[in-house]
């Protein structure tokens, strides 16, 4: 049996390295969560480099309705073309489409923790 989960963005790169070393069988079932600042992107890049078996990225914003977030999704897709990218949260079909066209594979829909579609 396996479980898929997203690891909170506040964990450090060092904590990611330690966890991956102790539990290598788990890393293919994890997503690294990230905010949308430049510092968040740098940290995400460091995590993906430190844990090469990581396949999933979760771009998490309470309100994904901004051109900045759309551009951030495009940037992350450009850096990680083979990863599965989750992005959100949004509540309209138009924003779901915009994020998919920007490179997201999974969209978090709803207010609060959201639901994936």
pTM of the model: 0.91
Residue 55 is predicted with a pLDDT of 97
Position 62 scores a pLDDT of: 81
User: What does CATH list as the number for 5-116?
Assistant: 3.20.20.70
pLDDT score for 9: 94
Q: What is the pLDDT of residue 112?
A: 63
Confidence (pLDDT) at 57: 99
Asked whether the beta carbons of 86 and 102 are under 8 A apart, the reply is no
pLDDT at 113: 58
In DSSP notation, the chain reads: ----EEE-TTS-HHHHHHHHHH-GGGGGGEEEEE-SSHHHHHHHHHHHHH-TT--EEEEE-S---SHHHHHHHHHHHHH-TTSEEEEEEE-SHHHHHHHHHTT-SEEEESSTT-EE-
Positions of the chain with pLDDT under 50: none
């Amino acid at each position: 049996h396996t479980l898929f989960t997203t690891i909170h963005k506040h964990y450090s790169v060092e904590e990611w390295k330690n966890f991956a070393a102790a539990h290598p069988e788990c890393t293919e079932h994890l997503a690294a969560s990230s905010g949308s600042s430049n510092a968040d992107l740098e940290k995400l890049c460091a995590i993906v480099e430190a844990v090469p078996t990581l396949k999933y990225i979760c771009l998490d914003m309470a309100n994904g309705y901004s051109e900045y977030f759309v551009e951030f999704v495009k940037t992350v897709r450009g850096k990680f073309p083979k990863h599965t990218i989750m992005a959100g949260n949004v509540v309209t079909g138009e924003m779901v489409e915009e994020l998919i066209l920007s490179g997201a594979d999974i969209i978090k829909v709803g207010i609060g923790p959201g639901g994936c579609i």
